[in-house]
Amino acid sequence: MNKHDRIYIAGHRGLAGSAIWRRLEAEGYDQLIGATSSELDLRDRDAVFAFVRDQKPDVIVDAAARVGGIQANDTYSAEFLSDNLQIQVNLMDAANAAGVERLLFLGSSCIYPKYAEQPIKESSLLTGELEPTNDAYAIAKIAGIMQVQASRKQYGRRWISAMPTNLYGPGDNFHPEHSHVLPALMRRIHEAKVAGEPEVVIWGSGTPLREFLHVDDLADASVFLLENYDSPETINVGVGEDLSIRDLAELIAEVVGYEGRLVQDATKPDGTPRKLLDVSRLNDLGWHARIALRDGIAETYAWYLEHLDQLRTR
């Protein structure tokens, strides 16, 4: 890429997209293109084709998706499958029609089998059954990887896909039911502290192991990959370390300053028992995550407090 490339970031107001926008801007890229969901519904095929044709981007970053935690994925699986398929198919078909040569598709670590060997290598894709609570979302993202590979093969595009682990950071969705585990826990623990409640209930057994990547690290990795990576095989983006949900809750409580009890509700689903990505391929290229989890949680909590009256709660 060069600093004057026209770069369209789909989902530029979301957690990942906004971080990538900030990172590209800081790097001196001066032709960034964005459109809010009210300005462009990526499920509207004709509108997407017209937008890409008119804007003539040199590079597209697909950070747009319908996302949510276990409950949202499990409850609205039809919408998660349909919306995400439409978004990425419309965007990639429009990019092919317009001859866009460089595209980065962002997926999710949930694409890998529920019982994949740990840490999970990229070669584990399609080798086993998916976690049923988010299999619809995972299938959509797998289809996106396949479309990237098919476009490379058929049209010779230099398109790539990257699979980040669980993301968190400033700009996250803090909805008490539809958000991912880290922001959901942060909100619940903060509200319990403010209300003086003696305990906070945590879904599941607390034993599942998860890896967490600060969104600014993802943004840094995304720009690095656009500048340095060109392969049909998807590539993992993570930190290479994990911890239990219980340990995560205790760490958040420490940062928030909550001294009440943390109680597990084992009747609620755990999801995949462990999901640690093998990031050796990305590390071998020269990229490593930089933001320690405690530091990232402290930064995210400070942002949360500053934006309490304007948080995204959808």
**Buried b / exposed e along 127-139 (16+ C-beta atoms within 10 A):** eeebbebbbbbbb
Residue keyed to tokens 């402290």: 298
274 is in an annotated binding site: no
Radius of gyration of the chain (CA): 19
123 is in an annotated binding site: no
13 is in an annotated binding site: yes
Nearest by Cα to 236 from 208, 258, 217? 217
- Residue 167 phi/psi, 5-degree rounding, is -100, 155
43 is in an annotated binding site: no
164 is in an annotated binding site: yes
178 is in an annotated binding site: no
Nearest by Cα to 44 from 89, 79, 2? 89
From CA 150, how far away is CA 226, in angstroms rounded? 19
Long-range contacts of 131-135 (CB under 8 A, 24+ apart): 131/271, 131/272, 132/74, 133/70, 133/73, 133/74, 133/269, 133/271, 134/70, 134/73, 134/74, 134/80, 134/110, 134/271, 135/77
From CA 54, how far away is CA 72, in angstroms rounded? 35
141 is in an annotated binding site: yes
37 is in an annotated binding site: no
Residue keyed to tokens 């239990």: 244
Please identify which of the residues 29, 112, 137, 229 carries the catalytic annotation.
Answer: 137
3 is in an annotated binding site: no
109 is in an annotated binding site: yes
106 is in an annotated binding site: yes
**29 carries an active-site annotation:** no
From CA 191, how far away is CA 211, in angstroms rounded? 25
From CA 67, how far away is CA 160, in angstroms rounded? 21
From CA 168, how far away is CA 15, in angstroms rounded? 8
167 is in an annotated binding site: yes
286 is in an annotated binding site: no
104 is in an annotated binding site: no
12 is in an annotated binding site: yes
17 is in an annotated binding site: yes
Catalytic residues: 137
Q: Which residues are annotated as a binding site?
A: 11-17, 106-109, 141, 164-167, 180, 188, 203, 210, 270
Q: Which residues are annotated as a binding site for substrate?
A: 188, 203, 210, 270
Q: Which residues are annotated as a binding site for NADP(+)?
A: 11-17, 106-109, 141, 164-167, 180
